[in-house]
Structure 1
């Protein structure tokens, strides 16, 4: 009898981790063989983190109307983990790039204020710890918007409160933290962060991530100057060197805000999530792990969930097979992460939109898993009744 643990990351824009896992489990079930298949939802701190942790811990979802990236009202969602004392928040829920139309994308004017509103709601719901997924923001405001929602105050030279967006960073002359509630100060923040970019400079938030958020070269330069100005003010007033924090430039500077003002731990996203889902404990007695994501390539080995899972399984001598919609071998090699073999689930030439439709992607995973199961069933003692 073969015990299989299925731990798929999401197929972004197509299937959630839960849906991908279920499709593979159904494929093995179709073989009619005596496999034991268990599933665990996973993520790496980006899209799908809330869902993965809520399902893995038996938690619940909470919806709240918050301030969107352009100041409009949007419906945001976060999770409260099983036990009720920890919450998980994806910044993309409040200030994600998909919330801003292509025509309106300009990080001079987008705010992270809604992230702070989600955090406050979680604290008001009894959470003492907040886990943050930083991926996918539309902002470059150094997290000032989020901090404003949490009670921090930012003033210009006329001692007037500054407004929203990266455009205001260059105007900040003074920061006050006296109005921050004690419940915020007492909260532990853990941040899933897999980039090491500094706050400003040619490798910083504006230059590296600004263009994909709609910033022109002129806007990038203005944003970078604002980030420098903000860092100088914080260093002078509080003695906090935001530029010296590895990962400060993540999510338009939200990394700096969490680490510098909220004493957050910036952690490897996949290690944080896999620890919270207790994946290593679930490897006990497992003969084979199946993982994967929408696309496997050289970047997979650089902190993505499948690589983290493979490395963990390798420590226990458990082989790992990876499945993906698309596979592009690169450097570092997928094998270096501990993946024993990988397969694309797409059966032949097909339009990308068709391949990414949930029904087709689910069917492809189901079919591939069934064929894997039938091959494994040919090995003596694997899968046979």
Structure 2
């Protein structure tokens, strides 16, 4: 038997490779002759560069940038000979901000722009931008400001590049932009397909977890609507309903209109870059995947959704191991896994599930492979 182990990380608990190792231990405990292939994955959000580092030799550059609240910090990006790989979460990430200080009305993506600016100065002409895990809802105007774009109010005042100021944008100028869009190829990689604004847009879906109140969410959504109107007027870009425009607080839209970027599905990109497609053609009997939390967002474009599509295409059964499963019926109906199990089903506490996730995954994978082999 040949088992492909291809999970995402369990956020706050285990890296994707640590999940692979735990699952492999459970399989070996049942039958050490079963062949296992460990292939950790990511969906384009935070941690994607760590996954790529498992497959490629990428060099690291450190840059002094502004964090989401304009404090100075040091952020990395990685590169090979011709391409820079920039993870927004490293400069403008939610995990960089203490929970009590999260405030996406006043946060900025300026630091992400500083990473891009550094890569451009070093001569990279291909830039891959991973935009998950942001602390922002500024539609990328912070990033754009770092690159020379200017935003003005109706009164002619230059505005701060933060979320709550989107509603005041009345003019956009790009005379001082530091690079030629025609000479650089940008790809923005994201894990969601949300539009820019509206009930399924950036503010209403994600801003609450970034510290926004109900009133602030309403204002941020109005700001995103105004932003959309102004970029269409001044930059000739219609980004309102572009799939992925609402990713990372509207950075999906910002990357398209300020960088002329192409949006690509995160899991598709990672699978393509890491050779996943060739693996599933290699007589795999079972795929085991998973992530920390499985819910309705999983079916939108996360790692497990990508696995389900490839498993169905190649007629390979796949199983899901998770920390917690919130929408089991929806997952089973849409993705058709062989089985779905979660650590929380074991009757443990949340702390136990997080602290002992590796041991629990080992036992769960042991039982899974035992049942599958019957």
Q: TM-score under structure 1 normalisation?
A: 0.86
Match of 1:332 in 2: 330
Shift of 1:252: 1.8
Aligned partner of 1:363 among 356, 359, 362: 359
Output one character per residue of 1:26-67: Cα deviation in whole Å (capped at 9) or x when no partner.
Answer: 333344532221111201122321211221334344443321
Indicate how the Cα distance of structure 1 residues 21 and 183 shifts in structure 2: closer, same or farther if over 3 A, else same. farther
Indicate how the Cα distance of structure 1 residues 138 and 20 shifts in structure 2: closer, same or farther if over 3 A, else same. same
Structure 1: tracts of 5 or more residues without a match: 380-385
Output one character per residue of 1:177-224: Cα deviation in whole Å (capped at 9) or x when no partner.
Answer: 233233665222222334444333444333333333222333234333
Shift of 1:93: 2.0
Match of 1:306 in 2: 304
Aligned partner of 2:231 among 220, 230, 234: 234
Deviating 4+ runs (over 6 angstroms): none
User: Would you say the 8 A contact 1:195–1:247 is kept in 2?
Assistant: yes
1:18 partner SS? helix
Match of 1:354 in 2: 352
2:358 partner SS? helix
Match of 2:284 in 1: 286
> What is the Cα-based RMSD across aligned positions, in Å?
2.7
Match of 1:4 in 2: 3
Match of 1:144 in 2: 141
**Quick one: distance in 1 between partners of 2:331 and 2:344?**
21
Shift of 1:245: 2.8
**Quick one: distance in 2 between partners of 1:234 and 1:297?**
34
1:137 partner SS? coil
**Quick one: distance in 2 between partners of 1:33 and 1:173?**
65
2:54 partner SS? helix
Match of 2:82 in 1: 85
Shift of 1:70: 0.7
**Quick one: distance in 1 between partners of 2:317 and 2:213?**
46
Shift of 1:365: 1.8
**Quick one: distance in 2 between partners of 1:26 and 1:84?**
37
**Quick one: distance in 2 between partners of 1:134 and 1:109?**
19
Moved more, 231-240 or 14-23: 231-240
Indicate how the Cα distance of structure 1 residues 327 and 160 shifts in structure 2: closer, same or farther if over 3 A, else same. closer
Indicate how the Cα distance of structure 1 residues 129 and 171 shifts in structure 2: closer, same or farther if over 3 A, else same. same
Moved more, 130-139 or 55-64: 55-64
Shift of 1:361: 0.9
Indicate how the Cα distance of structure 1 residues 199 and 341 shifts in structure 2: closer, same or farther if over 3 A, else same. closer
1:210 partner SS? helix
**Quick one: distance in 2 between partners of 1:240 and 1:287?**
46
Shift of 1:256: 1.3
Structure 2: tracts of 5 or more residues without a match: none
- The aligned length equals 373
**Quick one: distance in 2 between partners of 1:338 and 1:87?**
37
Shift of 1:372: 4.1
Q: TM-score under structure 2 normalisation?
A: 0.88
Moved more, 338-347 or 35-44: 338-347
Moved more, 272-281 or 51-60: 51-60
Match of 1:66 in 2: 65
**Quick one: distance in 2 between partners of 1:219 and 1:298?**
25
